[in-house]
Amino acid sequence: MSMKILVLGGTRFFGKRLVEHWAAQENVEVTVASRGNIAFPFDSRVTHIMLDRTNEGSLRHAAELEHWDVVYDHVCYSAEAALAAANVFEGRVKRYILTSSLSVYEAGTQRDEGFREEDFDPSTYPVRIAGDEVVSYQEGKRQAEAVLIQKATFPVATVRFPIVLGTDDYTRRLHFHIEHVQQGLPIGLPNPEADIGFIQSSEAARFLAWLGDAEINGPINAASSGTISLNELIGKIEVAVGKTSIIQSEAEKEHSSSFGITSSWYMNTKRAAKAGFAFDSLEEWLPHLVQQISSTE
């Protein structure tokens, strides 16, 4: 019998890589549910259905198509969206994997070894249905984790990723820094001495695929091994492009870094490593990625 996988979102970046991984496996049927705002990037091995993630009826339609072995949710940003998932997938999924974020942790409170999963506990976090109230990305992800962990009747894993990098990053976060150095534009970094962690898009997809078969639930951190200071990162960019950067503690919004943290910001990944996942080394892949992007800009 084929394994049935549903991916909510997943038409670009590491979600796309995850779908490509599963589509290449034998005895796996992959369905992608998306809004259809961008061209569907997969061949006939992948089924496509239209989805309005904010509409519980639309989500229920996706849920009721099959009894799913694994559901990956890349587009859940609120308590309401998580509650809808808990309702419609009840009795219809063996395993639910939410893409969450390092952002659930409170910046400036981490330990020397990095944030550990217990530093934000969704099982005890107060659930609050915000209605029309606009909540931050951090609070939205906290609420999504809390609702699924507390309300879902099926097993849930919430994957906390740091900033994901890759040549395929449509938000072009590393590209921004390389372009600014190349063009002699200022970069706003409030604390260049801060250490930061990353994961590459291929590794994020590999982790999600591994987690689909792993017997591990609840929150789990996923990041490349090692960290880098922002100063070191900018230094690698300077070497790659042959120019000196202009770093400012404050800059206009269009020149402010998406890496502009005020204190070190990275995670401890011992839980995933203990469960058997081998993370890539940041110091091995990041310089190569900087070179790759620099040569194409």
The reported pLDDT for the residue numbered 156 is 98
Question: pLDDT tens, 238-255?
Answer: 999 999 999 999 888 889
pTM assigned to the model: 0.95
Low-confidence ranges of the chain (pLDDT < 50): none
Question: pLDDT tens, 47-77?
Answer: 999 999 889 999 999 999 999 999 999 999 9
The reported pLDDT for the residue numbered 158 is 98
The reported pLDDT for the residue numbered 107 is 84
The reported pLDDT for the residue numbered 297 is 63
Question: pLDDT tens, 255-274?
Answer: 999 999 999 999 999 999 99
**Helix or strand (DSSP H, E) at 216:** none
